[in-house]
Amino acid sequence: MTEAGEPLRLRVGSELAGGRTDAVLAELLELSRTRVQKLLDAGAVEIEEATGSSRAPRKSEPVVEGWIFVARVPPPETTRLVPQDLPLEIVYQDRHLAVVNKAAGMVVHPAPGHPEGTLVNALLHHLQDLSGVGGRLRPGIVHRLDRDTSGLLVVAKTDTAHRRLADALRARRVKRLYQALVWGRFADAERTVDAPISRDPRDRKRMAVVQGGRRAVTHLRVREDWPAAQLLDVALETGRTHQIRVHTAHLGHPVVGDAVYGAGGARGISGPARRWADDLERRVTRQFLHAAELAFAHPITGAPEHFEAPLPQELATVVEWARPLRR
């Protein structure tokens, strides 16, 4: 995990206490659980006891607040990814990091079914260096956006920047503000959702609010109020998979255009607003979710960094159409 391959000491905070060792390590190390399990099998991770001794943890062992893991992670394998000259908007870059504005439809990193054409392939073409902390298939990737979500991502170009940005994310020192269009209308202008998220027990390809899942907190604020939908500002306190989409759908107000959690949203609208809702559904050509704002302290200099990305044209056009019809 370090440039010199030195052991990395990781302290378990209260928010991770009680989780499985392999799952907690996967989050702390920003690695896949499969890779973490291989490290555990190889004896590359130990728990540092208060007495100064150490022991090897079990994969399924519940972690305890205050534990210190000592992890020895080998350097990542040489990437076999192919740099591709794909369109990529680089908002900012220096020798430590880059901020990009990802287009909707682009997968962040290679995965089954998406071996190329990803953001990583584009980064390898457009940037000279990427950190290796993310592993062979995720070089430089500190956090992700869903395939059909557009907007801002920070990418690490050095391992030190990667570790510090990942630490800032875990400590909730990175501001991530999204714009989302959701079906229906919330009664309150502001609302906080604190509901745990895990794999949907009925469909493992989906996420859901599940008792005993990982804590997930989302802050919602109504930005614009329309006849059958609302444009929201959404701030993430945590960063679970599909968090915004799952939380809004759980409240009965799924993201417009979300084929997984909000398909057929117009059917839930009745009365005079139904025709407007049908028209909106035809106009929204993809998931209406955009990472509009990103702010953090620079991982090396400590200087405050703040970036904004306007709605892409296909979403901005919908907003302009809806505005004259606002109540």
Which residues are catalytically annotated? 146
Rounded CA-CA distance 240/48 in Å is 28
Rounded CA-CA distance 316/318 in Å is 5
Rounded CA-CA distance 320/311 in Å is 11
Q: Which of 289, 286, 305 is nearest to 297 (CA)?
A: 305
Please answer whether residues 21 and 63 qualify as being in contact, where contact means their C-beta atoms are separated by less than 8 angstroms.
yes
Distance of CA 50 to the CA centre of its chain: 34
From residue 173, alpha-carbon distances to 12, 165, 279, 292, 304 in Å are 17, 9, 40, 17, 11
Contacts of residue 128, defined as CB under 8 A and 6 or more positions apart, other chains included, come to 157
DSSP state, 136? Answer: T
Q: Which of 240, 267, 238, 241 is nearest to 254 (CA)?
A: 267
| Residue 24, SS3 per DSSP | helix
CB burial class (10 A; 0-12, 13-18, 19+) of residue 120?
A: buried
From residue 144, alpha-carbon distances to 20, 42, 43, 140, 148 in Å are 23, 28, 29, 11, 12
Rounded CA-CA distance 160/305 in Å is 17
Contacts of residue 112, defined as CB under 8 A and 6 or more positions apart, other chains included, come to none
**Helical H segments across the chain, by residue range:** 21-29, 33-41, 119-126, 159-170, 243-250, 273-283, 313-322
Rounded CA-CA distance 41/59 in Å is 9
